[in-house]
Amino acid sequence: MQPAAKAGEQPGAATSRPPLPAITVALPASRYCFVPRQPNLLDALRSEGFDLPFQCRAGYCGRCRVQLCQGEVRYRQQPLAWLNPGEILPCCCTASSDLTLQLPEAVVATGSWRD
């Protein structure tokens, strides 16, 4: 038995998955945009060459904190590290919408993302 179609859909029509959120990193003179393939933002950023520092990977230490300029994230569990307004911990969250992030200057200056 096939599920009922939604309004405007043909019965039996394949439902498509929503597109994956895009991550944009705000850079001094430009922007770098990518679609993450990893489950959390820390792994996604590091796989793109942004050498973001981290320690605990569980939201305890706050070492990986970055500024969330736009968008929404979802935490697996609420982080214990203290955060300023607008900061997120990429080690323990995923994007629930398109995001724009501001990374620490040291990470942007030394990142292999430019290669």
User: Please, what are the averages of pLDDT over each run of 10 residues along the chain (115 residues)?
Assistant: 43 59 90 88 92 93 96 93 95 94 88 61
Which distant-in-sequence residues (6+ apart) come within 8 Å of 20 by Cβ? 35, 36
Q: Looking at residue 115, what is its pLDDT?
A: 53
The dihedral through the CA atoms of 89, 24, 68, 106 has a sign that is: positive
Q: What is the pTM of this model?
A: 0.78
What phi, psi does 22 have (nearest 5°)? Answer: -95, 145
| Residue 12 near residue 2, CB atoms below 8 Å | yes
**CATH tag, 35-102:** 3.10.20.30
